Structure 1
């Protein structure tokens, strides 16, 4: 069974992108947040498909993080990894 991961913070490069890419390749569903939605989609386009949810601004405060988890649950019905 696939897992659902939420990756908070600026994700266009580095560890966050690598983590999301690996999860997507393994068949998991991933919600990402970051500053530029188009850059996020482009960075993961080759592995994303229907299993990627791009949510926009960084989830750097508790309210935004809670909203991110809520949107992820609406889209994928669960959250396993935050």
Structure 2
């Protein structure tokens, strides 16, 4: 799993990460649904330049490049 549109000005990304890595009983994955979700280290943030590029291809894609490196390593 990849956290996307994360806004570090709030506690939501941290809370989401905690719930994915330490799911409540029966809310995880695996046969007994108690295992943590696989979570990428790379986080895709909700940067202004992504919003400003609406309808166009954004030019700043460094986080996506980092994600590709992580996934292909």
What TM bracket, shorter-length normalisation? 0.3 to 0.5
- Structure holding more helix per residue: 1
Greater length-normalized contact order (CA 8 Å, ≥ 6 residues apart): 1
- Structure holding more strand per residue: 1
Specify the structure having the higher radius of gyration (Cα): 2
